[in-house]
Structure 1
Amino acid sequence: MPQSGIVKYHVKLSYEVDGLVERADIIGAIFGQTEGLLGPEMNLNELQRVSKVGRIEVNAKSTSNTTSGDALIPMSTDIDTCALIAAGIESIDKVGPFDCKFKLEAIDDVRAAKKDDIVRRAKEIKQKWATKTVSEGESMLNDVHQGDAKKLSTYGPSKLTCSSGLADSNWVILVEGRADVINLLRAGYDNVLAIEGAKIDESIKELCNSKDTVVAFLDGDRSGGFILKELKSLVNLDYALQADTGVEVEELTPQRIDEILRPIADEIKQGKPAPQLKSEDDKPIAEMAAKVFPNLNETLEAIALDGDQNEIFKVPISEVVSKLSSQSGIKYLLLDGIITQRLLEGAKNAGVECVIGHRVAKLSNSEGMTLKTFGDLGVS
């Protein structure tokens, strides 16, 4: 087929001739006996001239008195023209003086075959280069990991994992494990020490006594709560923080870590005194929160109480703001989640005096409200 022709279909036919003939006889019969049959524009010679039909290939196999074989006609026409040409060739009944019979075996869409080849090749390319990319990606991650690992050190006789900047910092962040230390390093915090177990090592107490500010930053699960209780019984904590509910510190993004720790870091940088976790004024609130907490923790719900600590409603956190707009007489609002600006505004409009949650977001216009975390109150 000329360069300008693009093969779309392969018309495949078989034939049988009751006599001995040559390949040239078969080709001659195909051209000669279809000429004028379908109109001048459908003659095979004309279709070849305009690059609609390519070179016809014929295979022949002879016995003692018969000839059989197959013919392949490459075409760049539409499927209708292919069908007409195939039907015209099937009508041939003579090759020279001998009777013959042509039969259409198939019309193959060459483009479909090409598509299959393209897909197959694409899979090979993907496998080769995806493997290379994954390998390079793992190498890059390893480089990052090694970079963080170089900033790791150990502390005390138990060789607890810590970041290398711990000794020079005036405050310390206590986390649960080595992976937490590495994750905080990625977020830019290099004053971190891993507790590495629920049993608090004596060297941790010594370190905390030497620091101006001690921050606990533990996983947002029940295990993190247990460790926090143990810490509070042995170490004077200035801040008690937990990751989002159900999330481990090592799973937090650097951005989320910074959102949680940045307010504390800024206060320490500005020389503001650390807040007291629990005062005598907080004792009634702490006792109330301690009663509610077991039935609230890890439920993703909020509980509203009146001044006598009677329950007004208990709803999912997602519904609490809309619920507040239709209620009155609420004094305390306790929630298994974060105290957000939107929730704060809803509580103020409802006349709520005290809101208690796991954590307090960066808020504005909180004057006149008592905002506490369960950690502040020694409840977890």
Structure 2
Amino acid sequence: MPYSGIVKYHVKLSFDVDGLVEKADIIGAIFGQTEGLLGPEMNLNELQKVSKVGRIEVNTTTTTNQTKGDALIPMSTDINTAALIAAAIESIDKVGPFQAAFKLEAIEDVRSAKKKEIVDRAREIVQKWSTKTISEGDEMLKDVSEVTSTGKLTTFGKEKLACGSGVFDSPWIILVEGRADVINLLRAGFDNALAIEGAKIDESIKSLCESKSKVVAFLDGDRAGGFILKELKSMVRIDVVHRAPEDVEVEELTPMQIVEILKDTAEDMKKETTKPRLQDPKDEPIANVAKKVYPDLNESLEAVALDEELNEVFKVPVSEVVGKLSPGSGIKYLVLDGIITQRLIDSAKQAGIECVIGHRMANLKSADGLTLKTFTELGIA
């Protein structure tokens, strides 16, 4: 019968029979010759019925007049019962008409083997998990490092003034008193701080500030900070002034306090830097033309044609503009709330138009000498 119990022990025996027998003969001898030896409660047939003994597996090898092999009996009894049954099987001296000898080789604790498998598997899981955790930890450290290393401490000018590496490229600058202040602002995520290093303002600072769109003074909240502020204002243009709380130095502030103090200025600068800018100063005359019509033209899906005096020649839907273009119309500028296409360029050239302005350009083969501009390039949108 199929075995459905939980195996605790494997009883392993070897046997030697002085004759040729089959596996069924070995199994029959095990059941038949142990029956009644240990009482009805230890009868193998009865133990199988209650799933205490599993299916007996037998392997045999035969020679001319001898059969040898081994038997494995899975058992879910206690160890004492398993030992008694093993001893009973060892008492078998015949298989059929032939002399036989059975010998116990081992009683294996299956649970111990399972425990070893569990421990080995647990070690494997721990090893994989540790590797994964270390890898994830490295990634987390890398992410944090990237955030905290957006700027580095460096120097500026002949005087080697301490500053953040963003001072050179940032559109705005934060003037602080000393090196420790620069380091503290770096911790807070601001890499555009420059230390003035004392009350006397270096000339190189003045030149740098002139190149920035906004100059911020962030000074200590003590009396000395007030004196330095006066000196700064006499030397450079100061757009915004921030002070640490009274009697507190900037280097003593926490990163969170620094962010809180500078957040409004930082937000204003973020908005300013995202505003459209005229990309080429030479295009300013064209930009002025576009600015004149853009407010009424934007999101209208229309096109407006202007002559040299900026008088309106016509205003039509973009879908009709090509049909309106003709030679000798006196159009100099064509401004449209749409895409500049090759078909439009070809028609504009035939009409003698000099400049076409739109939101963006399609994949163009040739501009044919026309001036083509987008509202973004002109700093309008």
Tell me the TM-score normalized by structure 2.
0.47
- Give 1 or 2 for the bigger CA radius of gyration: 2
Tell me the TM-score normalized by structure 1.
0.47
